[in-house]
């Protein structure tokens, strides 16, 4: 019995050793197969990568399909599709439908007649007559304070230098796709790297104001995501409860930072412009005291909000959505001061068949000339600080009065457009050169960081040049890449009046590191939507701003 047990133990040991060797061999074979199966040309990793790409492409196609379905449904609701049988109508180049933000109400207009002024009518998104871009009726909305906003839908464009006009096609959703004249779905080009040089005179280019440029350093004034459109203030910023408006007067959370302002001779009592203690129509003289900036209103026939530095204009524009604002807006609307790219988007839509096209916007040259009338004097003070008034034209008529043919100062020639892009006040935009000037800190410290981001664009510059004119020219020549901002594409020089329509074109230089747009009330034909100039960012009686909502 003892031997049998011992023999059995020996047999077990022998079987275990053989099994172990076999097991190792099998494991080695399996390991080789597994490695090959995992990382080989037909391995799991490769299959996973391929599957990921297939999924990504399918997802893109699905997004495009969903967008096409959504646009088709919108067309059916608007009556643009005839029972789904009219292929030409299905492929119609429709703009993205406006996206109302919290606090916004859709509005439309009754145009003025020779016997009555135009009126504003509240409506809703189901109203098929709310907007029609083919008829130059851009979508409008109103916030709770009475401010009006205009929808600029995502589009691609092509510069026509020979006619000084712009061809525009509306894009589908957040894609780069559009329908051509034959109803074929096409894809517009775009900037794909920080070094790309894009020719916007051939083919169609997606306007950068609507694109995600976070991966290319926001080179052309893009955003941090793809967007379907932007809401632009219909008028330049005005003082609340001024002129014919009754917007609430309420202080924001930010203070004025300038203790001095640059005034006109009529206001400072001398024979020339000069620096005086900070003041404005609403707050009178406040000098070096801490004064909070009142929320602006964006309505017609309001006293344009002047005497505000570029940094302060940026700060108040960023607070339009803060708690308990006067507009009813919430954080879902990203408010900010207009960028050069956004100004360009408006200007290009204006120069297209959807705007005044080959005509120049009528200038708003209305000027109250400070304390010129008793109705504009600040109480107890002869320095009213009122100059421009929003929405006027060059014959002293208001935006909602009967103006006659070609006398409207709007981008569309009717009440549905945007006003004050020509004349009124110079408007600050968040474009600048980062040349180390003291003005960057003195006037723009609220947003200047030295590099482009989704709220501002940094332009190339040079220190070369014996005088200001040469510096403007040299800086302009360095700007070979940035497009969409109605600077390089619609002008031929960085000094003088070389923009289309003979609008002014002065590039940033020296201490005048910031860009201003549109011209002012006293500039005549040199003012316009394609006008750009330079300034040092300080508070001036003829400078104002405009805000945008995303």
* pLDDT range class, residue 270, cuts 50, 70, 90: confident
Token pair 């104002």 in the structure block, residue: 544
DSSP class of residue 262?
A: E
Residue 84 lies in a domain: yes
Residue 379 clears pLDDT 90, i.e. is over it: no
Kindly state whether residue 499 falls inside one of the protein's structural domains: no
Q: Are residues 147 and 157 in the same domain?
A: no
Which of 33-37, 158-162, 211-215, 310-314 is predicted least confidently? Answer: 33-37
**Residue 456 maps to a domain:** no
Hey, which bits of 406-530 come out as E strands?
Answer: 426-433, 457-459, 514-517
Cβ–Cβ < 8 Å for 233, 546: yes
Q: What is the pLDDT of residue 341?
A: 98
- Is the CB of residue 475 less than 8 Å from the CB of residue 341? no
Residue 135: inside a domain, yes or no?
A: yes
CA distance 144 to 83: 39
Please indicate, yes or no, if residue 1 is contained in any of the structural domains: no
- Same structural domain, 133 and 186: no
194 and 176 in a single domain? The answer is yes
The answer to whether residue 470 is domain-embedded is no
159 and 212: one domain?
A: yes
**Is residue 368 scored above 50 in pLDDT?**
yes
Say yes or no: 157 and 210 in one domain.
yes
Task: Print the domain residue range for 202.
Answer: 153-228
Whether 137 maps to a domain, the answer reads yes
Name the pTM for this structure.
0.83
Let me know how long the chain is. 550
pLDDT of residue 20: 61
Choose one of 228, 263, 283: the last residue of a domain.
Answer: 228
Closest to 540 in 3D by CA, of 521, 532, 526: 521
Q: Is the pLDDT of residue 384 over 90?
A: no
Domains held by the chain: number: 3
Q: Say how many C-beta atoms besides its own lie within 10 A of residue 438's C-beta.
A: 10
- The chain-wide mean pLDDT, for the chain, equals 87
Residues 49 and 70 in one domain: yes
Which of 228, 253, 272 terminates a domain? The answer is 228
Judge contact between 370 and 387, C-beta under 8 A: yes
d(CA 545, CA 494): 22
Alpha-carbon distance of 544 to 313, in angstroms, equals 8
Beta bridge partners of 205: 157, 189
DSSP H helical ranges for 384-537? 438-442, 468-478
Answer yes or no: do 160 and 219 share one domain.
yes
More confident residue, 469 or 67: 469
pLDDT for 268: 86
Q: Label each residue of 85-153 as H, E or C.
A: CCHHHHCCCCCCCCCCCCCCEEEEEECCCCCCCCEEEECCCCCCCCCEHHHCECCEEECCCCCEEEEEE
Predicted confidence at residue 380, as pLDDT, reads 40
My answer on whether 115 and 141 are in the same domain is yes
Q: Which of 339-353, 381-395, 471-485 has the lowest mean pLDDT?
A: 381-395
Q: What is the dihedral of CA 477, 510, 485, 357, to 10 degrees?
A: -90
Say yes or no: 211 and 224 in one domain. yes
pLDDT in tens, 311-351: 999 999 999 999 999 999 999 999 999 999 999 999 999 99
What distance in Å separates the CA atoms of residue 195 and residue 132, rounded to the nearest whole number? Answer: 38
Q: Are residues 160 and 212 in the same domain?
A: yes
Answer whether residue 380 is part of any domain: no
CB-based contacts of 177-186 (< 8 A; 24+ apart in sequence)? 177/64, 178/93, 178/204, 179/91, 179/92, 179/93, 183/87, 183/88, 183/90, 183/91, 184/91, 185/91
210 and 158 belong to one structural domain: yes
């Amino acid at each position: 019995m003892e031997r049998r047990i011992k023999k059995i133990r020996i047999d077990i040991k022998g079987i275990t050793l053989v099994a172990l060797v076999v097991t190792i061999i099998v494991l080695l074979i399996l390991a080789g197969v597994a490695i090959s199966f995992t990382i080989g040309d037909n391995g799991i990793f490769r299959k996973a990568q391929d599957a990921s790409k297939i999924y990504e492409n399918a997802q893109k196609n699905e997004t495009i399909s969903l967008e096409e379905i959504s646009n088709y449904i919108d067309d059916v609701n608007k009556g643009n599709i005839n029972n789904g049988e009219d292929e030409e109508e299905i492929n119609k180049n429709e703009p993205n439908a406006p996206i109302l933000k919290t606090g916004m109400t859709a509005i439309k207009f009754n145009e003025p007649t020779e016997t009555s002024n135009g009126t504003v009518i509240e409506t809703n998104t189901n109203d098929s007559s709310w907007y029609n871009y083919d008829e130059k009726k851009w979508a409008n909305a109103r916030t709770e304070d009475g401010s009006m906003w205009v929808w600029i839908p995502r589009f691609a464009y092509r510069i026509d230098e020979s006619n000084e006009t712009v061809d525009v096609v509306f894009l589908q959703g957040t894609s780069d796709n559009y329908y051509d004249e034959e109803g074929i779905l096409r894809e517009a080009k775009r900037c794909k790297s920080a070094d790309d040089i894009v020719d916007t005179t051939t083919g169609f280019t997606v306007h950068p104001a609507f694109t995600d440029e976070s991966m290319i350093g926001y080179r052309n004034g893009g955003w941090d995501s793809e967007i379907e459109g932007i809401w632009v203030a219909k008028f330049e910023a005005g003082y609340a409860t001024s002129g014919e408006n009754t917007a609430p007067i309420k202080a924001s959370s930010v203070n004025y930072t300038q203790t001095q302002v640059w005034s006109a001779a009529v206001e400072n009592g001398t024979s020339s412009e000069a620096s005086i203690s900070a003041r404005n129509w609403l707050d009178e003289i406040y000098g070096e005291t801490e004064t909070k900036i009142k929320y602006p209103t964006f309505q017609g026939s309001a006293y344009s909000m002047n005497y505000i530095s570029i940094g302060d204009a940026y700060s108040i524009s960023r607070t339009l959505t803060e708690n308990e604002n006067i507009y009813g807006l919430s954080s879902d609307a990203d408010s900010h001061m207009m960028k050069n790219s956004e100004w360009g988007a408006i200007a290009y839509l204006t120069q297209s068949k959807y705007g005044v096209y080959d005509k120049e916007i009528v200038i708003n040259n209305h000027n109250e000339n400070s304390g010129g009338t008793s109705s504009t004097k600040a109480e107890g003070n002869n320095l009213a600080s009122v100059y421009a008034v929003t929405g006027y034209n060059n014959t002293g008529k208001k935006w909602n009065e009967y103006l006659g043919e070609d006398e409207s100062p709007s981008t569309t020639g009717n009440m549905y457009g945007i006003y004050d892009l020509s004349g009124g006040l110079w408007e600050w935009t968040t474009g600048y050169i980062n040349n180390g000037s003291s003005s960057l800190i003195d006037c723009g410290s609220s947003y200047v960081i030295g590099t482009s981001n989704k709220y501002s664009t940094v332009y190339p510059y040079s220190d070369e040049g014996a005088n200001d004119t040469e510096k403007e020219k040299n800086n302009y020549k360095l700007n070979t890449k940035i497009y969409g901002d109605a600077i390089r594409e619609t002008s031929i020089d960085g000094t003088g009046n070389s923009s289309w329509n003979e609008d002014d074109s002065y590039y940033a230089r020296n201490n005048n590191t910031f860009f201003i747009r549109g011209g002012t009330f006293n500039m005549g034909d040199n003012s316009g939507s394609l006008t750009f100039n330079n300034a040092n960012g300080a508070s001036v009686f003829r400078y104002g701003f405009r805000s945008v909502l995303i």
